[in-house]
Amino acid sequence: MSESMVNVVADIGGTNIRLGISDEQGKISELEVFQCNDFASLADVLKHYFSEKAITGKSINACLAIACPVENDLISMTNLPWQFSKSALKATLSLNKLLLINDYTAIAHAVPFLSDEQKVQIGQGSVAADKPIAICGPGTGLGVAHVVPANGQWLSLGGEGGHVDFAPVDEDETRILAYLLSKYPRVSYEQVLSGLGLEQIYQALMFDKGEAPQPYSAKDISERALNESCDVCQQALAQFCKILGSFAGNLALTMAAFGGVYIAGGIVPRFIEYFKSSEFRSRFEAKGRFVEFNKTIPTFVITESQPGIIGASAYLRQHNTEEL
């Protein structure tokens, strides 16, 4: 890669955008984090970063991991009011190359390269080499992706798995579903496994008690649960972990994910010790005749703070080296 060529990688979520510069070995430098709400458009924040790093005018290859579907030229972000054309963005910024991938496609590409220091195992199970891996992550939304081995490389299988129908497995969850169906015509897993989801579980539990909920944020609920200052917050967080276990167990079954199921997103890493002792793993394994199947599959929480950036860099190296 010539000195005038610059590889820019980004991880764009519903709240933050992380930007960095990747070298040929995948090492990330010049990492910056910006608040999406501080900018009117993606082009604006990229122009700001290019100017700040004095790379405007250089030949720039960009791989952007973004929290929404990326198949079409017109991109509309799911949890942010940004809309843009891929071709227009490339022209506006005078990019040499523009690759857009789903944010969980990026995380999927990062997972095979995570060290033991960048993840924490929850429960039993051992990683089987060269087997499918599943990833899900509660955050602003609920991201889902898979990565499978293919000809000595890794092939990501994207999708919108966070928007599949929420399926309750006990009476408490049935009541939560009933509450949410009074608000929405359809309830997906994202409505219970996200920041908003934790809030809505709390609201449903309060409704079931016949009491008005407090205006707690997801952070408020988790903090009150962990310091044991609110019984309903404790119930909400416990229920959140159980539902996440059931959902992650479904991903394990769907892809025979003997390479492991990984929990990403910004929520769970805040309370890993609590998560270890929660019913997440028991729910993950509670699959009827397939209990033994899921028992062998390991589960992890990703503790690396920038998996999307790592994955965007890996994607750029794996798929575009010959073009760069």
Q: What pLDDT score does 113 carry?
A: 87
pLDDT confidence band for 3 (50 / 70 / 90): low
Q: What is the mean pLDDT of the chain?
A: 93
Which structure tokens are listed for 130? 């060269």
Domain ranges of the chain: 5-101+307-323, 115-303
CA distances from 19 to 118, 130, 229, 253 (A): 20, 30, 38, 35
* In the predicted structure, residue 212 carries a pLDDT above the cut 60: yes
Q: Which of 154-163, 208-217, 228-237, 244-253 has the least mean pLDDT?
A: 154-163
311 is in an annotated binding site: no
Give the percent of the chain with pLDDT over 70.
97
Q: Which tens digit of pLDDT belongs to each residue from 17-30?
A: 999 999 888 889 99
10 is in an annotated binding site: yes
* In the predicted structure, residue 319 carries a pLDDT above the cut 80: no
The Cα 134–Cα 56 span in angstroms is 38
Q: Which tens digit of pLDDT belongs to each residue from 135-163?
A: 999 998 898 989 999 888 899 887 789 99
Q: Which of 60-74, 167-181, 250-264, 292-306 has the least mean pLDDT?
A: 60-74
Q: Which tens digit of pLDDT belongs to each residue from 70-129?
A: 889 999 987 788 899 999 999 999 999 999 998 888 899 999 989 999 999 999 999 999
Q: Which tens digit of pLDDT belongs to each residue from 270-312?
A: 999 999 999 999 999 999 999 999 999 999 999 998 898 999 9
H helix runs in 111-230, sequence order: 171-181, 195-209, 218-226
Q: Are strands 74-76 and 83-85 parallel, antiparallel or unpaired?
A: antiparallel
Answer yes or no: pTM beyond 0.75: yes
CA distances from 129 to 8, 52, 62, 112, 151 (A): 31, 42, 31, 10, 14
Q: What pLDDT score does 2 carry?
A: 53
* Domain 115-303, CATH among 3.40.50.300, 3.40.50.720, 1.10.10.10, 3.40.367.20: 3.40.367.20
Span 255-262, average pLDDT: 97
265 is in an annotated binding site: no
* In the predicted structure, residue 4 carries a pLDDT above the cut 80: no
21 is in an annotated binding site: no
57 is in an annotated binding site: no
248 is in an annotated binding site: no
Closest CA to 114 of 269, 311, 276: 311
Q: What pLDDT score does 322 carry?
A: 43
* Residues near 59 by beta carbon (within 8 Å), at least 6 away in sequence: 2, 4, 5, 6, 96
What's CA 70's distance to the chain center, in Å? 15
Neighbours of 116 (CB within 10 A): 8
Q: Any idea what the Cα angle at residue 268 is, between residues 81 and 110, rounded to 5°?
A: 75
Are 5-101+307-323 and 115-303 in the same CATH fold? no
CATH 3.30.420.40 assigned to 5-101+307-323: yes
* Residues near 169 by beta carbon (within 8 Å), at least 6 away in sequence: 246, 283, 286
Burial of 47 (0-12, 13-18, 19+ CB in 10 A): middle
Span 36-48, average pLDDT: 94
